[in-house]
Structure 1
Amino acid sequence: MRSEEQRRLLGQFIRSHREALTPDMPTARRRTPGLRREELAARAGIGATWCAWIEQGRDVSVSPEALRRLAMALALTPAERAYLFELAGRRDPDAPAPTPAADAPEALHAMVDLIAHPAYGLDRLWNACCWNEAAQQLFAPWLEGDGPHNLLRYVFTQDAARALIPDWENRATRLLAEFRADYGRALDDPRALALVERLKAESPFFAQVWDRQAVVAREGGLRGFVHPAQGLIAYRQHTLHPTERSDYKLVVLVPSEGQEEG
């Protein structure tokens, strides 16, 4: 059974993406941004009243097939579609079977220790569960002192992160959109909601970006940093998931001569 928080987030998510769509036949006078509910319902082949109830966060039953049509009508990306199904508490008929998650696997710790370049492991709430010396030197003070060493709290609340990360606002915005994809799979964990509420209170920018409901898949690419001792350095980021613990991830930064991608 979906919680009230899930229903609220589902309604906000659908409305946000509906309002971002371009109408099939735009008119000169239009008070509603994007698509009207009736237009989205027509695209998805569902009832307009039923669509309105979902956006209002009512406790209505949504079938996987209806969600499939809704995802197509909203033109969702794979990450956004996965988030939609997670919020609705339904299994995407086109998605692979999920892998159960528990404590951080020993393999993750072992891999981090073996890698010479900056490497660290993240749990489902993006707390660093392990890291090597190269990562600690790059990301101080994130990986110093007592835990939980949360990556989002470091990026959004510490001045050191703003100094380290060029184009901080855009990088932080994308990072949060990547986290939201994981957040949809962690709604059964009260710590996830507590983390978001804490960050909304600590960082007005986090609160602003969080309300945009953006969701993207975590991808690699060139990442630049302005290190206080080494100056401008570039890495190519790679993110891997242990097969036995899919909600944990291994992040590796390999030195690169290229310039940071936008």
Structure 2
Amino acid sequence: MQTAEQRRLLGAFVRGRREAMTPVGPPRRRRTPGLRREDLADLAGIGTTWLAWVEQGRDIRPSAAMLARLADALHLSGAERDYMFALADRRDPAAPVGPAAVQAPPAIAAAVEALTWPAYGLDPAWYVCCANGAARALFVGLFDAGDQPNLLDYVFTHPAARGLLPDWRARAARILSEFRRDFGRGVTDPRVHMVVDRLCEISAEFAVEWDRQAVLPHEGGARRFDHPALGAVEYEQHTLAEVERGDFRLIFLEPTSGGKCRKAP
């Protein structure tokens, strides 16, 4: 839900961008800089009164379509457009929907490759878009189906996951609760829906947990694994969002003792 502070910031941003634009028509003496409110409203195909209310930070709920027209009329950059839609608490209809196969953003791919600790990237539908050798060795069976497995598929359907995660039921429930938060942001992405629909059909545990409607943030913390070769090992998990594409995640697991995996008691 949009807050009063978001409305105030949105109004200040729109007004600031309008005043930074070149006026329409021949030069003339004016009291205010930039483009007149009436001219911007005309360019965006919206009402002047509505635009005034936005700039004044009033408690209104402009639609995503209206905001998109305003963004186009203001000639916003990608970063400016993201900022405006975030303040309006709306999803940009021009935001990209993930294709059939999504490649890791360069920043995540480079970080995963550079890290010696287990590290991997997740796309908006929680397919593993990249992983280093340490992650491939830790997550036994994850890559059996190919180079871009789905983490939820692995957790809920692969027998190796139940053995790897000693507290499987609690861990699986938490992982799904974290995914639901991302699901809310990517609700228009058909790939995200396909993952949910498929798992609801093939996994009773997934279907039950999905119906619970639990939502949790991406939080780090201690993670224990019962690895078939290493035994019981512990890490501290860290989760970061990619700067350009906030719907991608970088996850890496820091060994909890002197740079080496510490066996849990």
TM-score normalized by the length of structure 1 = 0.60
4+ runs of 1 displaced by more than 3 Å? 91-98, 100-103, 257-260
* Structure with higher RCO (Cα < 8 A, 6+ apart): 1
The aligned counterpart of 2:176 is 176
Aligned to 2:120: 120
| Cα displacement (A) at 1:137 | 0.3
Would you say the 8 A contact 1:173–1:209 is kept in 2? yes
Q: What is the CA deviation profile of residues 103-135 of structure 1, one whole-angstrom value per residue up to 9, with x for unaligned ones? A: 531111111110000000000011000000000
Superposition deviation, residue 140 in structure 1: 2.1
- Mapping of 1:1-40 within 5 angstroms? none
Give aligned-pair identity as a percent: 45
User: Structure 2: 5+ residue runs without aligned partners?
Assistant: 1-59, 63-84
Shift of 1:192: 1.3
Q: Name the SS for the 1:207 alignment partner.
A: helix
Contact 2:238 2:253 in 1 (8 A): yes
Matched, 1:232 2:232: yes
Letter of the structure 2 residue corresponding to residue 220 of structure 1: G
Mind listing any 5+ residue stretches in structure 1 that lack a counterpart?
Answer: 1-62, 66-90
**3-state DSSP of counterpart to 2:219:** coil
Change (3 A) 1:131 1:92: closer
Provide the C-alpha distance between the structure 2 equivalents of 1:145 and 1:97, rounded to a whole number of angstroms: 33
Conservation of the 8 A alpha-carbon contact between 1:136 and 1:144? no
Equivalent pairs counted in the alignment come to 173
| Residue matched to 2:189 | 189
**2:234 counterpart letter in structure 1:** A
Are residues 137 and 259 of structure 1, via their aligned partners in 2, closer, same or farther at CA, if it must alter by over 3 Å? Answer: closer
1:108 aligns with: 108
Alignment of 1:134 onto 2:146: no
Amino acid at match of 2:128: A
User: Secondary structure of 1:109's partner?
Assistant: helix
Q: Is the 8 A contact 1:64 1:92 kept in 2?
A: no
Q: SS state of the match for residue 237, structure 2?
A: strand
CA RMSD of the aligned region, Å?
Answer: 2.7
In the alignment, the residues of structure 2 paired with residue 111 and residue 92 of structure 1 have an alpha-carbon distance, to the nearest angstrom, of: 27
- 1:208, CA displacement in angstroms? 0.3
1:157 aligned partner: 157
CA distance in 2, matches of 1:97, 1:207: 27
In 1, the alpha carbon distance for the partners of 2:221 and 2:149 equals 23
